[in-house]
């Protein structure tokens, strides 16, 4: 395959996974705390695990940029820069850490899942910090309100995304998957 086709394929895959992230973001349950339960964590981890760290980062960045300019790709069909700066904004830009760490080219499955969980913790750190600053509450209180209740679901999402990426890779063939 010549280099031009590979680049076009990469662009298409980044776009497709940005779209998958936008679609899975709409599967959400709003909560009174302002942070919904969504499938975003699963989708972001899937971007990283399947596309690798560079293209996974690119897919999530495309999603965030679409949201920032007002395209309603965020949970609840929201968009706009105010959401990036709002209650859940820290989680949104924290997705970049999650995608990169899920996409690192590591040899062992358990290590890939563990590294993805580190990315998840960075994502939660960003989300908790921004939430804390916006509502004017302590970091600890914010952690117990907007992070701790979601950790088990999000860790399971990261692990599920890893195994889904393996299945997708096997189904579409290794030529589409990225090893690094």
Which tens digits make up the pLDDT trace of 73-129? Answer: 999 999 999 999 999 999 999 999 999 999 999 989 889 999 999 999 999 999 999
Q: How many domains does the chain have?
A: 1
Q: Give the separation between CA 12 and CA 105, rounded to whole angstroms.
A: 21
User: Sign of dihedral through CA atoms 18, 39, 85, 54?
Assistant: negative
For residue 42, what are the domain limits?
3-172
Which tens digits make up the pLDDT trace of 11-61? Answer: 999 999 999 999 999 999 988 888 889 999 999 999 999 999 999 999 999
Residue 132 phi/psi, 5° resolution? -60, -45
In a domain? residue 162: yes
**The domain spanning residue 10 has which CATH number?**
1.10.1760.20
In a domain? residue 40: yes
């Amino acid at each position: 395959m010549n280099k031009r086709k590979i680049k076009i394929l990469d662009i298409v895959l980044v776009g497709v996974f940005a779209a998958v992230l936008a679609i899975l973001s709409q599967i959400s349950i709003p909560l009174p705390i302002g942070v919904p339960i969504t499938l975003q964590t699963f989708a972001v981890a899937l971007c990283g695990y399947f596309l690798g760290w560079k293209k996974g980062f690119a897919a999530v960045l495309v999603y965030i940029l679409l949201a920032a300019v007002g395209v309603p790709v965020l949970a609840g069909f929201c968009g706009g820069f105010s959401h990036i700066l709002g209650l859940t904004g820290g989680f949104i830009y924290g997705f970049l850490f999650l995608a990169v760490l899920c996409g690192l080219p590591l040899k062992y499955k358990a290590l890939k899942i563990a590294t993805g969980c580190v990315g998840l913790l960075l994502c939660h750190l960003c989300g908790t910090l921004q939430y804390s600053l916006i509502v004017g509450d302590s970091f600890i209180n914010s952690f117990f309100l907007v992070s701790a209740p979601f950790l088990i679901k999000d860790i399971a999402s990261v692990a599920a995304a890893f195994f889904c990426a393996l299945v997708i890779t096997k189904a579409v063939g290794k030529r589409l998957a990225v090893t690094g």
